[in-house]
Amino acid sequence: MERAADGDRGAGGVAPALELRAAWKRHREGVTVGPVSLAVGEGTTVALVGPSGAGKSTLLRMLLGLARPDGGEVLFQGRPIGPADDALRRRIGYVVQGGGLFPHLTARDNAALVARHLGWPRERVAARVRELAGLARLDDDALARYPGQLSGGQAQRVGLMRALMLDPAVLLLDEPLGALDPLTRADLQGDLEGVFAGLRKTVLLVTHDLAEAVFFARHLVLMRDGRVLQEGALPELLAAPADPFVIRFLRAQRGLSLPEPR
Ligand SMILES: Nc1ncnc2c1ncn2[C@@H]1O[C@H](COP(=O)(O)OP(=O)(O)OP(=O)(O)O)[C@@H](O)[C@H]1O
């Protein structure tokens, strides 16, 4: 059975920011994600890693209420989250690969969309966009452009602005840097890490890249075939792999210098 992340109900009895309790979803005959139990503590950054098709995106979508679990529970700050719970969902920012921007809206309008929809006054929207543009390091010229006129890195930065617009307690990022060239990726990694640390958000990040996972998060959750195979810090996974696949997965990654097996 998986262990809870470092944010599991602590001495003060504080509920984790995000929690799955034996949650599972059946996509089709023979393809089920879960049951998965996982807790992400308030203010922690956790990286979800695993091969393609392991169920990482499904797990994120269950946490967002975008995929309805067939069984088990999904909780946000100790409260069950359902599919129609928009108010709760607005407290979770979601960043997807490529930014997930609307092509017919400028970067600024993409970032401001939900706040405008909620009826924020114009000045408040403008002030928040200015603040986030500073954080995401985007200038006015970039904000005036349409997604098709932005670089991949810029589009990703706009996606981040949009996710942060309502100042959510939690950020879920699904392969946010997957499509970027190595230099842009490294730049954005540094900026994102600064954003996470500065805002003290709870962050759950999906990535294929173990080096990136370790860069952002001390706590790793390794999934395979719809299940959590093991979770913990990288040295713990290396020292006591729960399954031969754990070592295979860790060693398959380039760019990480791992100690030789004894
Ligand atoms: N809407 C869907 N309908 C049917 N099957 C689905 C659906 N979404 C995902 N699946 C299947 O569920 C399994 C898990 O997919 P999921 O996208 O969650 O994995 P992943 O770990 O995020 O993969 P990747 O790293 O490639 O994005 C896969 O076998 C996938 O084909």
DSSP 196-226: HHHHT-EEEEE-S-HHHHHHH-SEEEEEETT
In 3D, which of 123, 197, 199, 209 has the Cα closest to residue 163? 199
For residues 91-109, give the mean pLDDT. Answer: 92
Distance 200 CA to ligand 1 centre (A): 30
Is the model's pLDDT at 257 over the cut of 70? Answer: no
**DSSP percent split of the chain into helix, strand, coil, nearest 5:** 35, 25, 40
For residue 168, the surrounding DSSP H or E stretch is none
Go through the chain and tell me how many residues it has.
Answer: 262
**Angle between the N-to-C axes of helices 152-164 and 122-136, in degrees from 0 to 180, rounded to the nearest 10:** 130
Is the model's pLDDT at 254 over the cut of 70? Answer: no
- Our answer on whether the CB atom of 29 is closer than 6 Å to any ligand 1 atom is no
In a mutational test of the pocket of ligand 1, which residue from 56, 60, 61 has the highest number of ligand atoms less than 8 Å from its CB?
Answer: 56
Distance 57 CA to ligand 1 centre (A): 7
Structure confidence at residue 101 (pLDDT): 95
- Our answer on whether the CB atom of 57 is closer than 6 Å to any ligand 1 atom is yes
- Our answer on whether the CB atom of 239 is closer than 6 Å to any ligand 1 atom is no
- Our answer on whether the CB atom of 144 is closer than 6 Å to any ligand 1 atom is no
Going by pLDDT thresholds of 50, 70 and 90, the confidence category of residue 260 is low
Is the model's pLDDT at 144 over the cut of 80? Answer: yes
Going by pLDDT thresholds of 50, 70 and 90, the confidence category of residue 29 is confident
Structure confidence at residue 145 (pLDDT): 97
How many angstroms separate the CA atoms of 137 and 5, rounded? Answer: 32
Is the model's pLDDT at 106 over the cut of 50? Answer: yes
Going by pLDDT thresholds of 50, 70 and 90, the confidence category of residue 12 is low
Is the model's pLDDT at 72 over the cut of 60? Answer: yes
Structure confidence at residue 86 (pLDDT): 77
User: Ligand 1 atom 4: the closest Cα is on which residue?
Assistant: 27
Do the interacting molecules here have an ipTM over 0.85?
Answer: yes
- Our answer on whether the CB atom of 61 is closer than 6 Å to any ligand 1 atom is no
Q: Report the mean per-residue pLDDT for the chain.
A: 87
pLDDT 10s digits, 187-216: 888 888 888 878 888 999 999 888 889 989
- Our answer on whether the CB atom of 55 is closer than 6 Å to any ligand 1 atom is yes
In a mutational test of the pocket of ligand 1, which residue from 29, 38, 58 has the highest number of ligand atoms less than 8 Å from its CB?
Answer: 58
User: Ligand 1 atom 17: the closest Cα is on which residue?
Assistant: 57
Distance 59 CA to ligand 1 centre (A): 10
- Our answer on whether the CB atom of 30 is closer than 6 Å to any ligand 1 atom is no
Assign 45 to helix, strand or coil: strand
pLDDT 10s digits, 31-64: 899 899 999 999 999 999 999 999 999 999 999 8
Structure confidence at residue 6 (pLDDT): 42
User: Ligand 1 atom 2: the closest Cα is on which residue?
Assistant: 27
pLDDT greater at residue 177 or residue 73: 73
- Our answer on whether the CB atom of 56 is closer than 6 Å to any ligand 1 atom is yes
pLDDT 10s digits, 160-195: 999 999 999 899 999 888 777 888 888 888 888 888
Q: Which of 20-34, 135-149, 220-234, 240-254 has the lowest mean pLDDT?
A: 240-254
In a mutational test of the pocket of ligand 1, which residue from 28, 31, 221 has the highest number of ligand atoms less than 8 Å from its CB?
Answer: 31
Q: Which of 226-230, 231-235, 256-260 has the lowest mean pLDDT?
A: 256-260
Structure confidence at residue 64 (pLDDT): 87
Structure confidence at residue 241 (pLDDT): 92
Residue type, 242: A
